[in-house]
Amino acid sequence: MAAAIPVSALEGYRLWAENWDETPSPIAAVEHRALLPWVEAARSRRAVDVGCGTGRWTGRLPAIGVDASAAMLGVAARKEGLRGRLAVGDAAALPVASGSADLVLCALTFGHVRDQAGAMREFARVLETGGMLILSDFHPEACARGWRRTFRRDGQVYELENFAYSVASLCGMAAGLRLDEVAEAWIGEEERGLFERAGRPELYEAARGTPAVLLTRWVRE
């Protein structure tokens, strides 16, 4: 099998955008299952969805969706109710007014951000006092065990860049934000069918022994 071609997140999502919604992902499935209760409990009235991609969470929230990928936003804009609620922007330079949000959501995105400290400052800036930041991402332990963020297009596998971090390093970047909760999500029986449909049922047994998604929740002080 040919080696995966490494690509930047921006280039990777340009290539992946049209097929992202149709690509079954155990990681995205686990993340959705774990994150949905947190999102619903937030009861947001003014949210910013950072790294919104094709709008999978933006459509569930009273949110502005921000993403660096114009290609992913182009797909999102074709969905009902999302046009006019999307903006191209970098996580470390959000096109959002200070103190204007009660929730910042950054789902399966933070590991793609080069300037992670700058992004954490921006999350704190746009949140009102008492507002909530929710981060979900590819689990650092999964990365340490060799899991990679890959996708296939035209028979070629591409590997997206990923910048590793830990909860401890996040705390060191989180001026103005207080860590409220940390949770891990694991691949479970609910995701078995995704491996079987992909023709790789043997990977399920190996994958379910590793934490797949890390979730952290923060409060703006």
CA distance 111 to 102: 23
Residue that the structure tokens 């933070």 belong to: 110
The pLDDT value given to residue 135: 98
Encoded amino acid at 207, one letter:
A
Structural domains of the chain, ranges and CATH numbers in brackets: 5-129+151-220 (3.40.50.150)
The pLDDT value given to residue 1: 53
Confidence of residue 174 (pLDDT cuts 50, 70, 90): very high
Half-sphere CA count of 165, side-chain side, radius 13 A = 28
| 36: pLDDT strictly greater than 70 | yes
Any idea what DSSP says for residue 91? Answer: T
Encoded amino acid at 40, one letter:
E
**Stretch (H or E) spanning 28:** helix 26-42
Q: To the nearest whole percent, how much of the chain has pLDDT over 90?
A: 90
| 45: pLDDT strictly greater than 70 | yes
